[in-house]
Amino acid sequence: MNDRSPQQLPSPTPDPMRLGALEQQVMDVVWDKHPVAIRDIIDALPGEPAYTTIATVLRNLERKEMVRPKRRPGSVRYRPVRDREEYAAHLMQRALNTAGTNRESSMLHFVETLSPDDIDVLRRYLAENAEGRSED
């Protein structure tokens, strides 16, 4: 029997780029319409989130190095630090890293879920880049 209580279990290292639901919605607006002001984000989101709520989310996203503000007298506009594709690649890499010793199996299960078009993209990429990799 294990004598460790749940409070004693090690917690996983938090991922600074992991986004909450509202952060993801805000990032979608920033990626689609950058540069954006807080009011632009509020107008693009469903409902009418409070100005202070969006300002707080943007400060959190800035801390996570997801957005960069450009301050001018009387206004602040936000741009993404990395594009949506880079962020998606980060999430995929993180998922593979959590697979531990089953990384290969996880990759193969993922590939099995790809559409035929996605597999064609992957094949073309591998064919175009195979030469450069074999010289390493």
Query: What is the tens place of the pLDDT at every residue in 41-54?
Result: 999 999 999 999 99
Q: If you average pLDDT over residues 37-41, what whole number do you get?
A: 97
Residue 95: pLDDT above 80? yes
pLDDT one-digit tens code per residue, 63-76:
999 999 999 999 99
Determine the Cα–Cα distance for residues 30 and 73; give it in Å rounded to an integer.
21
Q: How far apart are CA 98 and CA 96, in angstroms?
A: 5
Answer whether 0.85 is exceeded by the pTM: no
State phi, psi for 35 to the nearest 5 degrees. Answer: -80, 145
**21-80: CATH number:** 1.10.10.10
Q: Is 83 helix (H, G, I), strand (E, B) or coil?
A: coil
Please provide the distance, in angstroms rounded to a whole number, between the alpha carbons at the two ends of the chain: 50
- H or E element in which residue 72 lies: strand 67-72
Q: Which long-range contacts (CB under 8 A, 24 or more apart) does 91-96 make?
A: 91/17, 94/15
Which band of pLDDT confidence, cut at 50, 70 and 90, is reported for residue 135?
low
pLDDT at residue 62 is higher than 90: yes
